[in-house]
Amino acid sequence: MISMGIPSTTDLIADRVERLLLRHEELLRTNALLLQQVRQLGHERDQLQAQCQAARQRLDALLAQLPEALLAPPYPHTPSGEPTA
């Protein structure tokens, strides 16, 4: 005869299964939230990359408008590194 104070093996297994199911549901919710964050961060990354590319294009356009004399070094050097006279 089973004592009233000691749970049966079946009861122990059922309790364990219930806890595992609760944990599984919790992990599913957490995973869904993490996937949502990954999508949001991917979208944010894509926007930042597009902004960076647009800024790079604006800089290239501004540099193209500058006269060549402004882009050259102020003091021309020889290949050895010595300033020219």
Domain boundaries, position 34:
28-64
Say if 59 falls within a structural domain: yes
Say if 56 falls within a structural domain: yes
Distance CA 41, CA 47 (A): 10
Say if 19 falls within a structural domain: no
Q: Is 45:38 a contact under the CB 8 Å cutoff?
A: no
Say if 77 falls within a structural domain: no
What is the tally of structural domains in the chain? 1
Q: Indicate the pTM of the whole model.
A: 0.60
In tens, the pLDDT along 9-66 reads 999 999 999 999 999 999 999 999 999 999 999 999 999 999 999 999 999 999 888 8
Q: Which carries the bigger pLDDT value, residue 36 or residue 78?
A: 36
Tell me which residue has tokens 């604006």: 58
